[in-house]
Structure 1
């Protein structure tokens, strides 16, 4: 595995329970800005024996990437809800559950009032 791929996997592994991140945010944190598609590709190629919280990675809109109603879509929704993450119509509100939600709230007061 090359270093860039290892950084992507490390960024995914670092998403804490109860939080989500977009493919693009993971690429950015791995030092690969603009490589969101690479993140998606790598999630489909996780090395044998590596356990990642894959279900915490979403589209930039907060939408689950799998087709609605598919087995993978239902599994991702179930795993997210099990961590207390709100999923409505296949979408998670990133303003509340995204990795940077607390920072945005602290800086800009988002989600208050």
Structure 2
């Protein structure tokens, strides 16, 4: 015979914040991703200028910095989308987790084409050298 709790015992209530951490991560990554992409553009321009300079041949530090920031922008975009989807589907009903997940996905929906353009701009600037 299994144990039955007394009638006055109530199960502990779950908090309504399932998915909140993933939603906040989605928003933060969605905001930081275009910043990393925008910063990578001046580094790409500096890499082109460095390659064109006759006094600074073979300096690849600008390219490495530009490519690292472009990679960080892409990685943050992926993190924002994945965390936003986790927050939306993990939250069982409309709660803080689902709302922050939707906000993070909305930020990425607005930013994704700009981020892709900036990354291609950085990658394309290195094709001539």
Which structure's CA Rg is the greater one?
2
* Structure with more of its chain in helix, by fraction: 2
TM-score by length of 2: 0.27
Q: Point out which structure has higher relative CO (alpha carbons under 8 A, 6+ apart).
A: 2
TM-score by length of 1: 0.29
